Amino acid sequence: MTVTIARENAIAVVTVDNPPVNALSQALRQALVEAVATLDADAAVKAVVLICAGRTFIAGADVSEFGKPPQPPHLPDVVAAIEGAKKPWVAAIHGSALGGGLEVVLGCAWRVAVPSASLGLPEVKLGIIPGAGGTVRLPRLIGAAAAVDLVTSGSPVGAKKAEGLGLIDAIIDGNLRAGAIAFANDIAGKARPQPISSRAVAPVETGFWEGAEKAVAARAKREAAPLRALASVRKASETDFASAMAFERETFLELRGSEQAAALRHVFFAERAAPRPPELAGITPRAIRSAAVIGGGTMGAGIAAALRDAGLPVVLIERDAAAVERGLANVRGIYEGSVKRGRIPQAVADERVAGVIGGDDYGLLADTDLVIEAVFEDLAVKRAVFERLSAVCRPDAVLATNTSYLDPDAMSEGVSHPERFLGLHFFSPAQIMKLLEIVPTEATAPEVLATGFALARLLGKIPVRAGICDGFIGNRILKVTRAQAERLLLSGATPAAVDAAMRAFGLPMGPFEAQDLGGLDIAAFQRKAARERGETPFAPVADRLCALERYGQKTGGGWYDYQPGDRAPKPSETVAAIIAEAAEGRAQRTWDEAGIVDAILLPMVNEATRILEERVALRAADIDLVKIHGYGFPRWRGGPMHHAEARGLSEVVAVLDRLAGEGLAEPPSDGLRRAAEAGGFSVLAG
């Protein structure tokens, strides 16, 4: 039963119960239409309260139905039925009223909510626009400007703001059901407000639409939905209700079938699957009420800030008083930046900084629940840290390393109770980047792994379980990307052309600009370590640049030249000469944008497939999340694995075979060939 009807004297209470989030499945839509008919026919009912069971109001259309043909009754008809009901309906909102859920609310004659409720139209985040009157009724209720903000950003507003906007009529403190019934009894005797559909949109200032279009286009970059949502609100403001509804529905259906919507839906479900690896079902994590970070450099300070932002008290350990002071200064610097950018008020920053206790005495950690090590990337240094931690921490304290490429198994050897040890790999800046690679060792206990995932949830991060290998998931793929980028240079492309092509594809930066920003020295250090292990990393140009101490922006030159105080990259003659020298004897060819993107991206997919085959990643979608949340891969492309599947894996194999034939990439792995034959990566996972 998705909908039940109860009577409270003259008030009918319609309760929606469709776990987990009361999404508007076909069955629920049908039940709502039937509820309208039943209550219309009941002379004893004066008003209707629409309320939801569970943790939220209706959170939207059922996204899992989007790949299939729409089934009647369609949501616009459900909303029209509620709006046209003989009895006034009162929406009683708790949790989130999102998307189709808010559209149902807009069909109601009155709207009330608890103070913690949030309301929004997040459709653009799924690559679509509202499809049941959201863009048409909202400007008729709260005005075009506020409607444009809500619809094009997709961000929800809280109850208080919603009340200020006129989106809800009252806030109910205390019991929502009782409060909404009292409200319904009150309005039952009053004149019913004009249905939103028959109201006019208040006129906007001259130039409003042009200004909005510019602002939305700048924000949306290559995402289609926000501008289409704006066009729909504009249409709704300039034309009659029926024409606007037809325009909105047509746009909704078109976008629903688009590649961007499919990619964004894929990410939506990937983000909900990643935090729950099947092996952890039913495992209770350890409680984390306090945390410590060892090392106060950029990474350590960022992790400390991430922990503070989640409300945990933090101890920051460094090796001596001067280093402690530098570490605390790094933390302060992060919060000063947040205040300057208007992200948080000064008082909040002060409180967060005050919650970090600095010290060089490991004794401070005697009762800490979680310690994250973020010291220099050297196995001996890290082992020494864990030996000291083993001596002072409670045996049940979780100990974690933030290493990005050392072997956590090797590191855990000196740890007492090694079952409480794991890798928690943050991405820089750690207080901002959403990705957390969670790396269990052979000894990590299930509840400790579960604690890593619980921590990610607390920190608002996207956790991805990663197995042990050089670079885990993200940096292992990055190594291939960089080597590929150099192969392109040696065969006729320039750094500027490669960077421009990858930006045009949707990345925030190309591979060379990104290295100049982050510094070439870290990768050089890793290559040195790899060579000492007998490996042969491919970086002929980067090696020469590092020999000249061209480490990037910080040294005034890397892959590009930089003028003092100017971050704009200028093509470098020195680099061009180095490339020419390194390329001697190699065949040269011309590269167009699509060719560059293929030659960077598809080898990345090839390596990612090996990662999947080796079970370093659990699912192809997890790899997509790593690239999106750790490396700025455009979300609307769905990640490299989704992109490859959408393109067709057989074609990916064919392009890689061609590149390999020219010596420009590794040939496709056996796994990739198998996935191509099966038509998807799922054959390799699970």
Contacts with ligand 3H9 by CB under 6 A lie at 20-21, 23, 55-56, 59-64, 75, 96, 98-100, 103, 122-123, 126, 130-132, 134, 272
- Considering the complex, state which of residue 99 and residue 107 has its C-beta at the smaller distance from ligand 3H9: 99
C-alpha–C-alpha distance, residues 497 and 503, integer Å: 10
Upstream peptide bond of 156 is cis (omega within 30 degrees of 0): no
- Considering the complex, state which of residue 460 and residue 663 has its C-beta at the smaller distance from ligand 3H9: 460
Provide the minimum distance between the beta carbon of 264 and ligand 3H9 in the complex, in angstroms, as a whole number. Answer: 10
Provide the minimum distance between the beta carbon of 95 and ligand 3H9 in the complex, in angstroms, as a whole number. Answer: 7
Provide the minimum distance between the beta carbon of 183 and ligand 3H9 in the complex, in angstroms, as a whole number. Answer: 24
Buried b (16+ CB within 10 A) or exposed e, 306-344: bbbbbebebbbbbeeeebbeebbebbbebbeebeeeeee
Helix or strand or coil: residue 407?
coil
C-alpha–C-alpha distance, residues 139 and 125, integer Å: 20
C-alpha–C-alpha distance, residues 151 and 139, integer Å: 10
Tell me if 616 sits within 8 A of 467, measured CB to CB.
yes
Question: Interior CA angle at 50 toward 47 and 51, to 5°?
Answer: 140
- Considering the complex, state which of residue 61 and residue 523 has its C-beta at the smaller distance from ligand 3H9: 61
C-alpha–C-alpha distance, residues 127 and 361, integer Å: 51
Provide the minimum distance between the beta carbon of 473 and ligand 3H9 in the complex, in angstroms, as a whole number. Answer: 21
- Considering the complex, state which of residue 482 and residue 642 has its C-beta at the smaller distance from ligand 3H9: 642
Provide the minimum distance between the beta carbon of 461 and ligand 3H9 in the complex, in angstroms, as a whole number. Answer: 14
- Catalytic hit among 123, 248, 437, 645: 123
- Considering the complex, state which of residue 176 and residue 597 has its C-beta at the smaller distance from ligand 3H9: 176
Q: Would you give the DSSP letter of residue 427?
A: -
- Is there a catalytic annotation at residue 103? yes
- Six token digits for residue 231: 């066009």
- Six token digits for residue 225: 């939905």
Q: Which of 573, 615, 602 is nearest to 472 (CA)?
A: 615
- Considering the complex, state which of residue 94 and residue 487 has its C-beta at the smaller distance from ligand 3H9: 94
- Is there a catalytic annotation at residue 373? no
C-alpha–C-alpha distance, residues 404 and 396, integer Å: 24
- Catalytic hit among 83, 103, 163, 486: 103
Tell me if 401 sits within 8 A of 321, measured CB to CB.
no
CB neighbour list of residue 141: distance below 8 Å, 6 or more residues apart: 106, 147, 166, 167, 196, 199
Q: Which residue has the tokens 């090797």?
A: 410
Provide the minimum distance between the beta carbon of 619 and ligand 3H9 in the complex, in angstroms, as a whole number. Answer: 13
Enumerate the active-site residues. 103, 123
